[in-house]
A and B are shown apart, each in its own frame.
Chain A
Amino acid sequence: MKFTLHIWRQANRTAPGRMETHAIDGITGDMSFLEMIDLLNEKLLREGKEAIAFDHDCREGICGSCSMMIDGQAHGPERGAATCQLHMRSFADGADIIVEPWRVGAFPVIRDLSVDRGAFDRIIQSGGYVSVNTGGTPDGNALPVPKPHQERAMDAAECIGCGACAAACPNASAMLFVSAKVGHLGALPQGQAERSERAKNMVAAHDREGFGHCTFYGECEAACPKSISTEYITQLNSDYLASAAKAVVKG
Chain B
Amino acid sequence: MKLDARVPSGPLPQKWENFKKDQKLVNPANKRKFRVLVVGTGLAGGAAAATLAELGYEVLAFCFQDSPRRAHSIAAQGGINAAKNYQNDGDSVWRLFYDTIKGGDFRARESNVHRLAEVSVNIIDQCVAQGVPFAREYGGLLENRSFGGAQVSRTFYCRGQTGQQLLLGAYQALSRQIHAGQVKMFPRTEMLDLVVIDGRARGIVVRHLESGKVESFAGDAVLLATGGYSNLYYLSTNAQGCNVTATYRAYKRGAAFANPCYTQIHPTCIPVSGDHQSKLTLMSESLRNDGRVWVPKDPTDVGKHPNDIPDANRDYILERLYPSYGNLAPRDVSSRAAKRVCDEHRGVGPGGRGVYLDFADAIRRQGEPKIRAKYGNLFDMYQRITAENAYQRPMRIYPALHYTMGGLWVDYHLMSNIDGLFVLGEANFSDHGANRLGASALMQGLADGYFVIPYTLGNYFASTKQDRRSADASEFKAVEAEVTGQVKRLLSVNGKRPASEFHRELGKVIWDNVGMSRTKQSCEAAVSKIRGLREEFWQTVSVPGTADNLNVALERAGRVADFLEFGELLATDALLRNESCGGHFREEYQYPDGEAKRDDEHYTHAAAFEYQGDDKPPTRHQEPLNYETVKPAVRSYK
Contacts and interface: CB of A to CB of B under 8 A. Distances in A.
B209 to A, nearest CB: 9
B134 interface: yes
Interface in B114-163: 122, 124-131, 133-142, 158-159, 161
Given A30-B273, A117-B66, A126-B179, A50 B553 contact: yes
A129 B172 contact: yes
Contacts of B72: 57-58, 63
B50 interface: yes
Interface stretch (A149-157, A164-172, A212-220, A241-249): A149-157
A63 B167 CA distance: 10
A81 B377 CA distance: 12
Interface residues of A, number: 78
Nearest to A78: B384
Contacts of B47: 134
Contacts of B496: 46, 48
B600 to A, nearest CB: 38
Contacts of A150: 133-136
Contacts of B140: 144-147
Given A85-B384, A116-B66, A147-B137, A62 B164 contact: yes
Given A45-B542, A131-B176, A118 B187 contact: yes
A41 to B, nearest CB: 7
Given A62-B164, A65-B70, A153 B133 contact: yes
Interface in A122-177: 124-126, 128-135, 137-141, 143-147, 150, 153-154, 157-158, 160-161
A145 B426 CA distance: 32
B498 interface: yes
A42 interface: yes
A110 B550 contact: yes
A137 B51 CA distance: 14
B239 A117 contact: no
Contacts of A132: 126, 129-130, 173
A191 B128 CA distance: 11
Interface stretch (B277-285, B340-348, B429-437): B277-285
B86 interface: yes
Given A31-B276, A117-B67, A125-B176, A53 B129 contact: no
Contact of B553 (A12, A51, A134, A146): A51
B501 interface: yes
A56 interface: yes
A124 B176 CA distance: 8
B59 to A, nearest CB: 13
Contacts of B185: 121
B240 A157 contact: no
Contacts of A50: 544-545, 551, 553
Contacts of B210: 110-111
A154 B175 contact: no
Contacts of A5: none
Given A45-B553, A145-B140, A157-B133, A62 B67 contact: no
A153 B158 CA distance: 11
Interface in B484-523: 494, 496-498, 500-501
Given A48-B542, A158-B161, A11 B129 contact: no
A37 B545 CA distance: 18
B451 interface: yes
B175 A128 contact: yes
A25 to B, nearest CB: 13
Contacts of B178: 121, 125
Given A31-B276, A46-B496, A134-B54, A62 B69 contact: no
Given A51-B553, A132-B130, A150-B135, A58 B175 contact: no
Interface in A47-79: 48-65
B70 A57 contact: yes
Interface string B19-53: 00000000000000000000000000001001100
A60 B175 contact: no
A124 B135 CA distance: 24
Given A31-B276, A57-B240, A185 B75 contact: no
Nearest to A186: B131
B67 A161 contact: yes
25 contacts: A35-B276, A45-B498, A45-B553, A49-B544, A58-B72, A58-B240, A59-B240, A59-B279, A60-B279, A62-B161, A63-B75, A65-B70, A87-B384, A87-B385, A118-B67, A121-B175, A121-B185, A125-B179, A129-B172, A134-B47, A137-B128, A140-B125, A143-B128, A146-B136, A150-B135
Interface of A: 11-12, 28, 30-32, 34-35, 38-39, 41-42, 45-46, 48-65, 81, 85, 87, 89, 110-111, 114, 116-118, 120-121, 124-126, 128-135, 137-141, 143-147, 150, 153-154, 157-158, 160-161, 184-185, 187-188, 190-191
| Interface pairs A-B: 3 shortest CB-CB | A144-B140, A129-B172, A137-B129
Given A121-B175, A129-B175, 15 more contacts: A28-B276, A45-B542, A45-B553, A46-B542, A58-B75, A110-B210, A133-B54, A144-B136, A144-B139, A145-B136, A154-B133, A157-B165, A161-B67, A161-B69, A188-B133
